[in-house]
Every structure is written in C-alpha cells, then in structure tokens.
Amino acid sequence: MIIIIKILILKWCIIIKISHEVVQNEKIRTIVNSAYEDKEFISLMKGIMMESIESNSFYKEFAIKEKFNMDDLNQIEDLALIPFITTTTFKESTGMFKELLKIPLESPEFKTWNVSSCTTGDPSLVGRSLDDLEFLASMTIKCIYEFIPIPMEEHNQYGTISMNFSPNVTFLNRIAMRYTDLRPVKLYTSTLNEITTKITKPKYLIKFFIFKAFKEIIKRRSLVGAFGINAKYVIKTINKNSSKPDDKQKNISIGGSLQLLNTFMNKYLKEANINFDLPDSYITTGGGGWSGHKSQLKYPPIEKTQFVSDCIEFFGTKIENITDMYGFTETPIVFGSHWSDKYQNFIFHCPPQARIIIRDMNTLDPLRNVGDKGFLEVLTPFGVAASLNHAVLVDDLVELVSKNKCHECDYEGDTFIVQGRIEDKEGLGCSSLVEWI
C-alpha cells in the first residue's frame, strides 16, 4: 500500500551539544560540538595534507604525480584538487592497506583494523587509532541525536526501549575474525553498534535457536539456519510497554538491518495480523541494501516508499520518526537523514566536520550542480590519524540535492540522496550490514 506521505518540516533550531558524560575526550567533544566554516575547514585540510605527505611516502609520491600544490588550496572548490583515495584501495586483495597507514603498526596509538562486512570475497581494511575510533563514535552519536527525533533527555535506557535487528557485538566481532587473518580486527558494524551502547542499552534481536541448530547440523552441517529474529521478545516488550499508563510508557526505538526489519514486518507481523499503534516509536536503518544487492548477498530489492509506508502501517510510527543512516568503513563520517516527500527518498546531510564532492562516474571531474549524479567523495581532517582517509571516494552513486543548506529542514551543509551501489563496476564495495543471514 502506497500512502500519500506528508512530512513535517523539521527545523534545526536546537543546536545539539554532546555532553561530557557521553564523550569524555575533551578534544573530540570540542570537535563534534563545533561548526566549521569553509575558511577554517580549508585550513584544517591543508594541515592534514601536510601531515599525510610528511608521514606517508606513498601519498607523497601520489601528490607529486597528481601535481598537487598546497598554494592552490584556497577556496572550497579547491578541495577537489586534493588527491583522493578510492575505497577499492583499502581492499585486502590490493595489499595496500598497510601502506595507507600514517603511524607504525607497533605504535601505542594504533588501535585496530576496521573490517567491512563481506561474507566471502574482499573486505576493506582500515587502520584506526584510539582517537579515530573515538571520533567515529562521537560523530555517530551526534548523528543519532540530530536525526532520530527522540528528545535528548529521553535518549537513554530510562526513556527509551531500544531494539536492534542485529546479532550482539561479541558475535559480530567473532564474524570479523572469519573475514581476514589480520589482527587486531573489529567489524565496522560492530564498532557502530558498540557506540550506541554509550547512550542506550539495546536488545539485540538476532537469536541463536538451539533446537534449530541441531536440525541444521543434521540437515546441512551448518549453523547458519539456526539464527532467527527474536520476534516474541519484540511483541512482548511492546505490549508490556503499551499496557502501562501514558506517562509511564517509554519511547520504542527500532534499528538495525534493513532487510531483517523488512522481513519482520512483511512476514512475521503480516502473517500474525499484528499492527501496532506506536506514534512514539522511532525506526532507524543503516548500511544500505535497498537494491537487494549487498556485496555477495542477494534478495529482492526493498522499495523505499513501500518500506516507509510499511513502518507506518505495522508500527504506527510517524513519518518524521523514520530515518536512514549512511556511512562506510573507510570514512569516520556518518550521515543522518530524514524522509523527503518531494523526493520520495531519504535526504542525507553533510555535517560541519566534513565536506562532500560528487564526481562524474567516467571522468571523475567534480560536479557542482543540484541534480548532478556521480560517485561520492567524503573529505574530513578529523578521525584520520592512522590512515590516509581524509579524502575518500566511494563507489556509491549519489545525487546532489542542495548546496550549503537543506531546503526542507535548514540543516547547514550539502545534502544528497543515495541511489545505490554501482553494480558490475570494478571495485564493488562492501559497506556496513550483516549479510550472513
């Protein structure tokens, strides 16, 4: 059922400030709580360029080859002159991931390798320092606070019941061990999941069913089919909350894998004929997978308008409470969104800690007009201490929606729509979703 969708215009009058309780690291807290005007941003990018050239011989040569000249970097358009690294360069098969490091592996600053989720094939490996991980965590929290419209004071386990369509962090990290022999390693997805525990205590809904496990071992000699969604928990928890007096009820926040959430609505809830009425519920997906093509995993595509109307139909959620988050292993920036009635899509917003460039898919020249479509490049001077990821080009096709400000919510910065990953192109990426299920 496609319904006519009306979105409330959200105005970003409230400036989100992350507190000391959530992010203890003062340096990083100051960065995420600051707005960076173009001039300051360019100056910081110059700094990170200088540092990258000095600390990494590969980048030094690359910058010479690209004829990069620091003096050319003056205006915001000049950011396109910065030699960028493609996400493909971080693939394990290229053997380049160690060359992309700016700090020695044995240095105390080096913390872990973040690995993208790929069941088979070729994951990305991005070296991160403790500060890089702290920044990634803080940007994710900023994105959650800014784009999931739960009142900030209720955004914790006392005000919100949080359920995540994902296995728990320990399990995810065990999966990461299967992707690569490199150590220490952590799945990018599990890093993001771990971050949410700083503000809330989510219940992970992917469960191991012991009787199913026996059956699967006998039938298929595999345990994969022994995992399933803990649907009973969701129903019980929601009903228990709804039975309480209005002032005692908590918000319901549902997040995690798009595909699992979609399955839960269209298989489980539909077959059981369950429709909740939860105007104070919030639904957040992340990691993409709309096209039905998620690295090696294939399933029917999920139509965004249909998904949004399903969330409203099955959970009773308000349209402005449905958000999608976008990020990929190679950048520490996470982009938040809201639904757009006009575009029938999620509009993503570039935070002040980063800038984006859309590049032509063939020539890689920067495209500057609203409506232009191309590959996405993300630039940031923050959270990139360990690796060369201050300017990363990802093979996702995006469309530029507005420059400098969102016309729908007034959030400052460029906005874009993600059209999906470029299939059949060399260097097909793998971003952040559990796709083994």
In whole angstroms, the minimum distance from the beta carbon of 8 to Zn ion comes to: 12
In whole angstroms, the minimum distance from the beta carbon of 416 to Zn ion comes to: 11
DSSP letter, residue 418: E
Sites for Zn ion among residues 84-103 (CB under 5 A): none
Which residue in 16, 90, 82 sits closest to 336, CA to CA?
A: 16
**Integer Cα distance of 115 and 318 in angstroms:** 35
**Integer Cα distance of 218 and 375 in angstroms:** 46
In whole angstroms, the minimum distance from the beta carbon of 337 to Zn ion comes to: 8
In whole angstroms, the minimum distance from the beta carbon of 200 to Zn ion comes to: 24
**Integer Cα distance of 17 and 430 in angstroms:** 32
- Residue 7 vs 175, nearer CB to Zn ion: 7
Radius of gyration from C-alpha coordinates of the chain: 21
Which residue in 167, 312, 153 sits closest to 229, CA to CA?
A: 167
Structure tokens at 360: 């032509």
User: Which helix (H) or strand (E) covers residue 377, if one does?
Assistant: strand 373-379
In whole angstroms, the minimum distance from the beta carbon of 435 to Zn ion comes to: 29
Q: Is 400 left (phi over 0), alpha (psi -120 to 50) or beta?
A: beta
CA 63, 68, 73, 79 dihedral sign is negative
Give the pairing type, strands 322-325 and 281-286: parallel
In whole angstroms, the minimum distance from the beta carbon of 256 to Zn ion comes to: 23
DSSP, residue by residue, 23-43: ---HHHHHHHT----HHHHHH
How many residues form the binding site for Zn ion (CB under 5 A)?
A: 4
- Residue 280 vs 408, nearer CB to Zn ion: 408
**Integer Cα distance of 88 and 252 in angstroms:** 38
In whole angstroms, the minimum distance from the beta carbon of 349 to Zn ion comes to: 6
Strand segments (E) across 13-107? 85-86
C-beta separation of 239 from 231 below 8 A: no
Which residue in 195, 200, 225, 272 sits closest to 23, CA to CA?
A: 195
- Residue 229 vs 409, nearer CB to Zn ion: 409
- Residue 338 vs 421, nearer CB to Zn ion: 338
- Residue 80 vs 406, nearer CB to Zn ion: 406
In whole angstroms, the minimum distance from the beta carbon of 367 to Zn ion comes to: 21
Structure tokens at 48: 């990170």
Sites for Zn ion among residues 398-427 (CB under 5 A): 406, 408-409, 411
In whole angstroms, the minimum distance from the beta carbon of 340 to Zn ion comes to: 8
In whole angstroms, the minimum distance from the beta carbon of 405 to Zn ion comes to: 9
Which residue in 367, 324, 333, 338 sits closest to 352, CA to CA?
A: 333
First to last CA, the chain: 27
Q: How many CB atoms lie within 10 A of CB 213?
A: 15
Residues making contact with Zn ion (CB under 5 A)? 406, 408-409, 411
